[in-house]
């Protein structure tokens, strides 16, 4: 590509950044980086009725957490600022004046009551098209316009949609798209409060910010013919358009904020790693063209092309996300997980204040569990016995592992543990081997009952490492508790 690629992500701060929005940001980011171009963040905050003040922070934090840092935008200086549309209102005003001057736009004085009535009549008549504004003010005389404006009569500005036109544009993902101009009504460009509509501000800014490729969710596709006509009215070149495929919710239907699309930060709180989520999101509608699924950010940048984005909808498959995240959990060093895991443990509230301060211990727990946990949350959930004595024993495992002479085995092992002067992994392994040999028991007959006694569950990391980490005193206490419990349990069963 010869000229510099410039793309933008243009969220409206009307709520949290959900994963669908993050996919749009990611595709823009990957495209920019692939072509050595710029990724711009623009805040479309002109709809003051839907504005939410904490949404901005959440958008910034989410994008940064995912590693989608912008080259220009809020907090990052660039040559096309300001990057908040609310700070650019005079620009939009100027542009609308120019359109009025050139005969492409006109003021409209229709009251909301009139428009409401019009809508009702149209609904009743069930007009197939040309619903929407009836061009009532399109041909007012210049004198009348001047007079009404000088009397401060509230008004909006509308674009004159030309008659009998086929409005067409090329979508990089879907090919040629055509709309008949009859299906479009004279859209509002500037509202009576002086704020621009999405259409006007979006087109003006894409042009002024030198955006070469507009990549956005496919819900915006119906807006594009209007934008094409706006570009035409201004006499500006069109950017390249690419409407990204729909993401379906797991249970069917479009994934939306209302339907299952959790916020990016919810995934962070649920213990996902940013690189896992990014890799998963990249595959929602795009594929590298071979079977490769796990790709680092750099690989994604190297491989990403719009040609490989499919127009077909893709499903947000939570299980695949978990699986993908698990691959990154294995890859991560213990140290790099510590801070994030710490937050998850803290939030879960099962680890005491004191224990949360013991970074060496926490690191060792992560080391033992990270390869067998798909998320940090799963790691935290499965780690409870490293911090607390079990208060119950897995029922199925009790039946399977604590039968026959398990009680005697647990009693003997308790004494053995108590007598050990060195409670290292190696000494434990030697002690288990000796004991198994002496008693002519399989190792399984020792390992499984012990694991259940110490952790309360039937799964976990290697037993010897686990016992060493939990420590002699705690292990002995838990063994004694288990012996008491089992003894009682057997007595009750036999009575
Ligand atoms: N502000 C719009 C949104 O919230 C931007 C759409 C576009 O990218 O043109 O998604």
Q: At what angle do helices 89-101 and 224-234 cross, to 10 degrees?
A: 70
**pLDDT more than 70, % of the chain:** 98
Structure confidence at residue 221 as a pLDDT band (50, 70, 90): very high
Query: Measured in angstroms, how far is the CA atom of residue 180 from the centroid of ligand 1?
Result: 23
Contact between 469 and 364 under an 8 Å Cβ cutoff? The reply is yes
Q: Give the alpha-carbon dihedral of 456, 459, 460, 461, to 10 degrees.
A: 130
- Containing H/E element for 203? helix 198-208
Distance (Å, rounded) from C-alpha 315 to C-alpha 261?
12
Which pLDDT score is estimated for 80? 97
Which pLDDT score is estimated for 260? 64
Return phi, psi of residue 243, to 5°: -100, 120
Using the 8-state DSSP alphabet, how is residue 304 labeled?
Answer: -
Q: Give the pLDDT mean for 198-227.
A: 97
Which pLDDT score is estimated for 342? 95
Q: Comparing C-alpha atoms, which of 494, 463, 495 is closest to residue 479?
A: 463
Please report the atom of ligand 1 found closest to the CA of residue 11: 4
126 pLDDT more than 60 = yes
Using the 8-state DSSP alphabet, how is residue 43 labeled?
Answer: B
Q: Give the pLDDT mean for 327-346.
A: 96
128 pLDDT more than 60 = no
Which pLDDT score is estimated for 259? 65
DSSP states of 220-281 = GGGGHHHHHHHHHHHTPPP-EEEEEPPEE-TTSSB-BTTBB--BHHHHHHTT--HHHHHHHH
What confidence tens digit (pLDDT) does each residue in 64-95 have? 999 999 999 999 999 999 999 999 999 999 99
256 Cβ contact partners less than 8 Å away, ≥ 6 residues apart: 18, 20, 249
Distance (Å, rounded) from C-alpha 382 to C-alpha 323?
17
- The two structure tokens encoding residue 408: 């005697």
Structure confidence at residue 1 as a pLDDT band (50, 70, 90): very low
Query: Measured in angstroms, how far is the CA atom of residue 219 from the centroid of ligand 1?
Result: 9
Which pLDDT score is estimated for 2? 46
- The two structure tokens encoding residue 269: 């709180």
336 pLDDT more than 90 = yes
257 pLDDT more than 90 = no
Q: Give the pLDDT mean for 111-122.
A: 92
462 pLDDT more than 70 = yes
Q: Give the pLDDT mean for 211-225.
A: 97
Residue 315 three-state SS: strand
Among protein residues, the one with the nearest Cα to ligand 1's atom 10 is: 11
Which pLDDT score is estimated for 99? 98
Structure confidence at residue 127 as a pLDDT band (50, 70, 90): low
Ligand 1 residue neighbourhood (C-beta within 6 Å): 10-12, 44, 202, 216, 220
What confidence tens digit (pLDDT) does each residue in 129-145 have? 557 899 999 999 999 99
Q: Give the pLDDT mean for 99-125.
A: 94
Which pLDDT score is estimated for 86? 95
Q: Give the pLDDT mean for 113-125.
A: 90
Q: 175-180 — which CB contacts under 8 Å span 24+ positions?
A: 177/221, 177/224, 177/225, 179/225, 180/129
| Beta-bridge partner residues of 159 | 105
Q: Give the pLDDT mean for 353-365.
A: 97
Q: Give the pLDDT mean for 333-343.
A: 96
- Containing H/E element for 41? strand 38-41
Mutate to test the pocket of ligand 1, among 10, 58, 171 (most ligand atoms within 8 A of CB): 10
Mean pLDDT of the chain: 95
Query: Measured in angstroms, how far is the CA atom of residue 315 from the centroid of ligand 1?
Result: 22
Structure confidence at residue 48 as a pLDDT band (50, 70, 90): confident
Query: Measured in angstroms, how far is the CA atom of residue 449 from the centroid of ligand 1?
Result: 58
Distance (Å, rounded) from C-alpha 107 to C-alpha 133?
13
Catalytic residue among 191, 254, 257, 445: 257
Residue 6 three-state SS: strand
Please report the atom of ligand 1 found closest to the CA of residue 202: 9
Give the distance from CA 82 to its chain's centroid: 26
Q: Comparing C-alpha atoms, which of 370, 382, 391 is closest to residue 478?
A: 391
**pLDDT more than 90, % of the chain:** 90
Q: Is 33 a catalytic residue?
A: no
Q: Give the pLDDT mean for 232-254.
A: 93
Residue 171 three-state SS: strand
φ/ψ bin of 455: left (φ > 0), alpha (ψ from -120 to 50), beta (otherwise): alpha
Q: Comparing C-alpha atoms, which of 64, 88, 91, 79 is closest to residue 9?
A: 64
């Amino acid at each position: 590509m010869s000229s510099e690629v410039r793309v933008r992500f243009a969220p409206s701060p009307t709520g949290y950044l959900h994963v669908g929005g993050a996919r749009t940001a990611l595709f823009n980011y990957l495209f920019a980086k692939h072509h050595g171009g710029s990724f711009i963040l623009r805040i479309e905050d002109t709809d003051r009725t839907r504005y939410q003040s904490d949404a901005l922070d959440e958008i910034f934090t989410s994008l940064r957490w995912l590693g989608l840092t912008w080259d220009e935008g809020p907090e990052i200086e660039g040559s096309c600022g300001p990057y908040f549309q609310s700070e650019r209102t005079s620009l939009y005003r100027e542009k609308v004046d120019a359109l009025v001057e050139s005969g492409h736009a006109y003021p409209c004085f229709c009251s909301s009551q009139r428009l409401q009535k019009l809508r009702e009549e149209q609904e009743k008549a069930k007009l197939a098209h040309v619903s929407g504004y009836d061009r009532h003010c399109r041909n007012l005389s210049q004198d009348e316009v001047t007079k009404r404006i000088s009397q401060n009569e509230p008004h909006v500005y509308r674009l004159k949609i030309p008659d009998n036109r086929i409005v067409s544009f090329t979508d990089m993902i879907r090919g040629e798209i055509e709309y008949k101009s009859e299906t479009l009504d004279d859209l509002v460009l500037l509202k009576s409060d002086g704020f621009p509509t999405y259409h006007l501000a979006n087109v003006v800014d894409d042009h002024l910010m030198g955006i070469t490729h507009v990549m956005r969710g496919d819900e915006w596709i119906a807006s594009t013919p209007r934008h094409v006509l706006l570009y035409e009215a201004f006499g500006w070149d069109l950017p390249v358009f690419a409407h990204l495929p729909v993401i379906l919710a797991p249970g069917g239907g479009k994934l939306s904020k209302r339907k299952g699309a959790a916020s990016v930060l919810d995934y962070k709180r649920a213990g996902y790693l940013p690189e896992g989520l990014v890799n998963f999101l990249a595959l929602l509608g795009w594929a590298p063209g071979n079977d490769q699924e796990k790709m680092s950010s750099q690989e994604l940048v190297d491989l990403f092309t719009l040609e490989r984005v499919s127009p077909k909808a893709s499903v947000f498959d939570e299980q695949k996300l978990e699986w993908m995240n698990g691959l990154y959990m294995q890859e991560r060093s213990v140290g790099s997980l510590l801070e994030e895991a710490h937050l998850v443990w803290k939030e879960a509230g099962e680890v005491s204040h004191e224990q949360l301060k013991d970074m060496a211990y926490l690191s060792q727990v992560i080391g033992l569990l990270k390869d067998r946990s798909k998320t940090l949350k799963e790691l935290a959930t499965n780690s409870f016995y490293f911090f607390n004595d079990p208060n119950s024993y897995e029922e199925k495992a009790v039946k399977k592992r604590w039968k026959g002479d398990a009680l005697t085995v647990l009693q003997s092992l308790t004494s053995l543990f108590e007598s050990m002067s060195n409670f290292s992994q190696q000494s434990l392994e030697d002690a288990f081997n000796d004991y198994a040999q002496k008693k002519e028991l399989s190792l399984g007959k020792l390992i499984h009952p012990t694991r259940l006694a110490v952790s309360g569950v039937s799964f976990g990391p290697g037993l010897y490492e686990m016992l060493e980490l939990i420590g002699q005193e705690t292990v002995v206490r838990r063994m004694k508790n288990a012996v008491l419990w089992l003894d009682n349990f057997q007595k009750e069963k036999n009575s």
